[in-house]
Chain A
Amino acid sequence: MKKFLTIAMALTLTVSLAACGNKDKDSSSTSDSQGSSTTTQSADLSGSILAVGSTALQPLVEQVSKDFMDKNSGVSIQVQGGGSGTGLTQASEGQAQIGNSDVFAEEKLDADKAATLVDHQVAVVAMAAVTNKEVGVDGLTKQQLVDIFTGKVTNWNEVGGKDQKIQIVNRPSSSGTRSTFEKFALGTKTEDLAGSIQEDASGTVKKLVSETPGAIGYLALSYLDDSVQALKYDGVEATVDNVTNGSYPVWAYEHMYTKGEPDAATKAFLDYIASEEVQNGDVVELGYIPASKMEVKRDAAGNVTK
């Protein structure tokens, strides 16, 4: 027994020590690549990148990182979820090279911390209000949405639908999706009403909206399908074209933050995401809207410019 224990412990130790050594090697090679920054020669790139944060952005970054690693065998990229807040914290404290976020850093971090981060807007996500298919409404005005989400209207027949009680399926108040929806669809912060449902995961929201009678929620365009009814907003349909030409306002950037200017490998990765190849390929395929396609721009305060 003792022998077994000794062996087991020795094994653990060796493995962990060796792996520590391995990690040192990795980080030193990162600094090497910084020295000889040859971004055009992709074959020379090496280093390891950790991208943490938004679960909404995760599928895109993960997909792109696979292609990038195929092209640059020296680079290893890890993509982790954990939420926008986690991503921003990890990036601003230097634990991750990239912090993925659904919202501007200024909304989550102190102003001086946010100032150390450099924003890279890689895609746009648009959201649509969705309802259960049975409610009999296919569009709402901004005022009607506000009335519903503030609890002034509690029955679908008040907004032209069937006589059915409205069930709100909201996101938690800390969610980036909710803050986008409140800012650009409602124009006001709302409270969590008694009896409303709060779920963070898009999959769960979709399931609840499609199964609960009288339910209303909101989803990113990539999650829309036949199981729910997407609503027109002030008569404008939630389509990619309407978002890019500025007529549909409920959208937000997906951000990838770096602390200061990124190192060579990270910069090459971010450039790769911003390239036409990815923007018109993976980004569109995954249901995001390419940032380069946008005819309007928006700053952290929400001001839109053509």
Chain B
Amino acid sequence: MSARTVDKIATGIIMAVAGFIVLILLGLLGYILIRGVGHISWHFLTSAPESIRAGGGIGPQLFNSVFLLVLTLIITVPLGIGAGIYMSEYAKPNRMTSFIRLVVEVLSSFPSIIVGLFGLLILVNKFGFGFSLFSGALALTIFNLPLMVRITEQGLRGVPLQQKEASFALGISKWKTIRSVLLPIATPVILSGTILAAGRIFGEAAALLFTAGMSSPRLDFTDWNPFDARSPLNPFRPAETLAVHIWKINSEGLAPDATQIAAGASAVLIIMVLVFNLGARALGRYMHNKFTAAK
């Protein structure tokens, strides 16, 4: 067989594999969406779940997922960017630094169930945060932080060296250079990375079972004072997220339409992740264009 034929065959195989992967994803998405989309309605998205009767919705769960995501980001973004800056700008390339890098990698591949139990015993019990959004956000921080660090490092590394050197040459201090030169340029990368990581937070269940809890107290959506026990904004109330709700319905759901609700909720979850992904891409592209146009 001539080299050219082999080349053609190999190219064909690679094409086929790429097509196959696309098919897997389309199949997966199609399966989830087709089963679930029919169940999605305004009522389903806004009303509270029912434990026995049919016709329950996922309103509070949807709100909880989004709110938990916001809380987690409020905690992780400053911390993660700070740690990322340290790793890429301040840390000297020595044993200590490579040790910290190792630690970050370990943290990112930790099984989520262990993080959940750690959260139960330390955050929920020892620190007394209780089953609450706050405990859940902290547990998710443990997952999200390594990703944020890696993303920030990547973003800062992508900044052309000349930019940094030019800033130093102007006599601008290091911190100011990082703040006003490096970070703005790295923002598109950091931003889209953050949103992609957010998609993973959205789908996490195992760690939240033991920290944010599996039930949602009755919420009063007219009360927006975050200090009231019934306010949806109170971070110290328990909150069942969408992924946890799907898990719960699949395992112990008693409502007659449990399967449909699980399917509908999965579809909603997938759509949210899809929106996050596309949003991240669009935003990254927009910011990239904006920055390069300004140059």
Binding site for B on A (CB under 8 A): 1-2, 5, 8-9, 11-12, 15-16, 18-23, 26, 48, 50, 52, 55-56, 58-59, 62-63, 66, 69, 76-82, 86, 90, 93, 95, 200-204, 222-223, 285-287
Contact = CB atoms under 8 A, between A and B. Distances in A.
Interface residues on B, range: 35 or more
A223 B255 CA distance: 10
A253 B12 CA distance: 64
A55 B252 contact: yes
Select the residue from B229, B249, B252 with max chain A CB neighbours within 10 A.
B252
List the 6 shortest-distance A-B pairs measured between CB atoms, nearest first. A201-B251, A19-B236, A81-B214, A59-B51, A79-B215, A5-B78
Nearest to A59: B51
Instruction: Name the prevailing secondary structure of the A interface residues.
Output: helix
Contact of B226 (A19, A50, A93): A19
Contacts of B226: 15, 18-19
B216 to A, nearest CB: 9
Given A69-B218, A286-B52, A201 B234 contact: no
Nearest to B48: A66
A19 B254 contact: no
Contacts of B230: 76
Contact of A202 (B214, B218, B236, B252): B252
Contacts of A90: 125
B236 A63 contact: no
A15 B235 contact: yes
A202 B251 contact: yes
Given A8-B77, A19-B226, A203-B258, A50 B131 contact: yes
Interface of B: 51-52, 74-75, 77-78, 81-82, 120, 124-125, 128, 130-131, 134, 179-180, 183-184, 209-210, 213-215, 217-218, 226-227, 229-230, 234-236, 238, 248-254, 258
Given A18-B227, A19-B236, A82-B214, 4 more contacts: A16-B235, A81-B252, A201-B251, A204-B250
Nearest to A95: B125
Nearest to B230: A76
B72 to A, nearest CB: 11
A70 to B, nearest CB: 8
Nearest to A80: B213
Contact of A55 (B81, B128, B235, B251): B251
Nearest to B124: A95
A76 B130 CA distance: 14
7 contacts: A15-B235, A16-B235, A58-B215, A78-B131, A80-B213, A95-B125, A223-B254
B75 A12 contact: yes
Contacts of B179: 1-2
Contacts of B75: 12
Contacts of B128: 23
Contacts of B78: 5, 8-9
A82 B134 contact: no
Given A69-B218, A203-B258, A59 B235 contact: no
A59 B229 contact: no
Given A16-B134, A22-B234, A63 B213 contact: no
A19 B253 contact: no
A286 B254 CA distance: 8
A62 B56 CA distance: 14
A160 to B, nearest CB: 32
A21 B252 CA distance: 36
A93 B128 CA distance: 13
Given A16-B134, A62-B51, A203 B236 contact: no
Contacts of B250: 201, 203-204
Nearest to B178: A1
A11 B238 CA distance: 20
Contacts of B130: 23, 50, 78
A29 to B, nearest CB: 11
B236 A62 contact: no
Nearest to B82: A5
A99 to B, nearest CB: 13
B213 A78 contact: yes
A223 B254 CA distance: 7
Given A12-B75, A19-B236, A76 B229 contact: yes
A21 to B, nearest CB: 8
A205 B18 CA distance: 36
Nearest to A202: B252
A52 B82 CA distance: 37
A138 B264 CA distance: 35
A19 B134 contact: yes
A76 B52 contact: no
A248 to B, nearest CB: 21
Contacts of A8: 74, 77-78
A203 B238 contact: no
A275 to B, nearest CB: 19
Given A22-B234, A80-B214, A203 B51 contact: no
Nearest to A285: B52
A232 B223 CA distance: 53
A59 B218 contact: no
A5 B234 CA distance: 22
A173 B45 CA distance: 38
B251 A203 contact: yes
A79 B252 CA distance: 15
Contacts of B234: 19, 22
A22 B229 CA distance: 8
